[in-house]
Structure 1
């Protein structure tokens, strides 16, 4: 695939700029195309309601979307290929002797358009788009606060969602050895006083600061990460007089321990105002009090996953994940999420490294501050071809 793409670029550049320029660029730049095609089919049932057609919660597990307080309906079936993705990577040798790398990756998850009525057409979205030069990275990719290597192998898009830090955003990152530090695009999510629809403020004047240090060895790795950010909300329109901010801080401890061919992956996260960083924003970062001032919401999450290799072609993963928020119900009201958890087990078969077929069962539960709760059971099947 790399040779064919390079040949196509050669032809295009030669046509536009002439063979001399083309040859010069070709000598300096390598282009790689990679990704995978993945088909998913899911049977989902809910104890206390339903998830509407077209909702992202029917494509993969979101803790905050498990229905609570409704009436049980029949099992829902969904099938899609939205997780499929394609990735372009370029590597250019500079005259200085340095190298610059560019990455652009797309998939089809979480886009607003498309439906199942006729064509099942869905728009591509940017996952990653960044430039890497020496020790610097500029662009959109995983937050430095996330340890990707500690994520479990699941058929679900994330798997250990409840207790996991999971976010991509634009940043400037510096890396040296096992240490990484970054300034990242900020955003604040707020609960109105007494509860209500989430407010996404987009009022932050200060980038989020994230840092990580990773200890590595033959035994696996252990990482410590920290997050420091400002939560802000300004609204002086329509007679409002809101201009408030507060500090948010968090810590993340993650690890992957090798046990022969098997491994255990662990994540523990805690902070004030973690909000959108954990459990896919199951709870907001802050809440407004009666004086229109922000108060950060404390939250925590934990996940553990065990991966067992049965033989050269078969493997399984067993995962448990939980999230808990310390809501001040006098401010947030009682309809907000108090805690969630999920557990899942899968069996994966890979006749070759490019092909994987799998089945996975997941059980999840969500509880509100009122004490009301609801659960989800989901059986998922997948076929994946990586290239």
Structure 2
């Protein structure tokens, strides 16, 4: 243990002593042949390629870093990166369990004889392909695909597949009703239960014409999960989801974002020959900001009706729309709330610690749930962790989690988990 701590402090000293990265002219490979490709490391790519790679890097701890190697044309205008990471975690639950590989308070059993469990997971290991370049017609463009092994029986599953050019994004990627930059760092792959997190096939546009401001609007493919009975059925959806946000940033590590979503959710009933719909909506405020050189704060608040699909905890409950006990043959969208707040302390450039508290809550309306008192009412999520970037490509971490699930009958069950992480990026 003393050797590990000594190595960590030595890493901190080296990180603090290292000079800040500075712009420098990159060498473009010259050759008599105008066609063909060459393989280079990322630091040997042209300035334009490196700029696009860095600017398109998403601010999310579980998103892969820029690839180490690139296939690049000999003029240095186009580059294809192949990369990803191998990620392995060890998990031990005690004093209550979560019935999932991720720490989801909604999945804490109402009653269980099992109070402890051990799990290991490598299914979040990720592989990606990223093509970047710049042309007169498209400007900066990115074509990106990525996946991990979280499909059924740990098969490969697509996680992102999109193209971006001239501030337009088309394809399958993170939704507009969320804020990747305000999410805390967790080993738990899902993260705080009150956060919004989802992916959707979409057409999105981002306007960056005002200094420090960013505006985004998107049209997204709908996904509706509901609970139906007595002849009610979730139908094929007739309308897309519409999202928008405005963001103000005052430095590279600080911003405030206000966003919203509106959606129409279609269902059918046995007593009617026409489809019906329920309108859902959501509003969101999120932020992250630095407090000096060492501290970083982050938080988010989400409130709406019928937005369960987008809230981490509630998305597991199928409650976007539910039967209305007071109106036979009708469904309704329930009010729901999610929020989190946390702090990160950067001990040195290679080591940081953080902690976050989060809550998600489902509200009753029109007597729901009228005859199921054991239905989820709210969940709480607490996490504290430490990360050590052993090298530019390797990260290790340790984490403690505690979760509570409280039902409409006020019964509460809880669970604890300890996580360990080893991750290597390539």
TM-score range, shorter chain: 0.7 to 0.9
Provide the residue aligned with 2:321 in structure 1.
286
Give the C-alpha shift of residue 128 in structure 1. 0.6
Deviations 1:99-149 (A, max 9, x none): 43210001112x222xxxxxxxx2111111001121211101111111001
Q: Where do residues 10-159 of structure 1 align in structure 2 (5 Å cutoff)?
A: 29-45=78-94, 47=96, 51=99, 57=100, 59-68=101-110, 70-94=111-135, 96=137, 98-109=139-150, 111-113=151-153, 122-159=154-191
Provide the residue aligned with 2:346 in structure 1.
309
Provide the residue aligned with 1:207 in structure 2.
240
Measure, in 1, the Cα distance between the counterparts of 2:186 and 2:392. 16
Say whether residues 1:336 and 2:375 are aligned partners.
yes
Measure, in 1, the Cα distance between the counterparts of 2:223 and 2:91. 33
With 28-37 and 315-324 compared, the bigger mean Cα shift is at 28-37
Provide the residue aligned with 2:207 in structure 1.
176
Measure, in 2, the Cα distance between the counterparts of 1:99 and 1:300. 38
How does the TM-score come out when normalised to structure 2?
0.75
* Mapped contact 1:46–1:66 kept (Cα < 8 A): no
Give the C-alpha shift of residue 335 in structure 1. 3.0
Could you say if the C-alpha distance between residues 193 and 100 of structure 1 is closer, same or farther in structure 2, counting changes exceeding 3 Å?
same
Classify the secondary structure of the residue corresponding to 1:149.
Answer: helix
Give the C-alpha shift of residue 282 in structure 1. 4.2
Measure, in 2, the Cα distance between the counterparts of 1:26 and 1:80. 42
Provide the residue aligned with 1:349 in structure 2.
388
Classify the secondary structure of the residue corresponding to 2:367.
Answer: helix
Provide the residue aligned with 2:402 in structure 1.
363
Measure, in 1, the Cα distance between the counterparts of 2:268 and 2:277. 9
Deviations 1:78-97 (A, max 9, x none): 11211111111112444636
Provide the residue aligned with 2:358 in structure 1.
321
How does the TM-score come out when normalised to structure 1?
0.83
Give the C-alpha shift of residue 256 in structure 1. 0.2
Could you say if the C-alpha distance between residues 340 and 263 of structure 1 is closer, same or farther in structure 2, counting changes exceeding 3 Å?
same
Provide the residue aligned with 1:224 in structure 2.
258
Of residues 274, 281, 293, the one that matches 1:249 is 281
Give the C-alpha shift of residue 348 in structure 1. 1.4
Measure, in 1, the Cα distance between the counterparts of 2:396 and 2:179. 26
Measure, in 2, the Cα distance between the counterparts of 1:242 and 1:64. 34
Segments of structure 1 that go 5 or more residues without pairing to the other structure are 9-22, 52-56, 114-121
With 199-208 and 134-143 compared, the bigger mean Cα shift is at 199-208
* Mapped contact 1:187–1:201 kept (Cα < 8 A): no
* Mapped contact 1:188–1:202 kept (Cα < 8 A): no
Measure, in 1, the Cα distance between the counterparts of 2:114 and 2:188. 22
How many aligned residue pairs are there? 349
With 33-42 and 139-148 compared, the bigger mean Cα shift is at 33-42
Classify the secondary structure of the residue corresponding to 2:309.
Answer: helix
* Mapped contact 2:98–2:107 kept (Cα < 8 A): no
Could you say if the C-alpha distance between residues 306 and 24 of structure 1 is closer, same or farther in structure 2, counting changes exceeding 3 Å?
closer
CA RMSD of aligned residues (A): 2.8
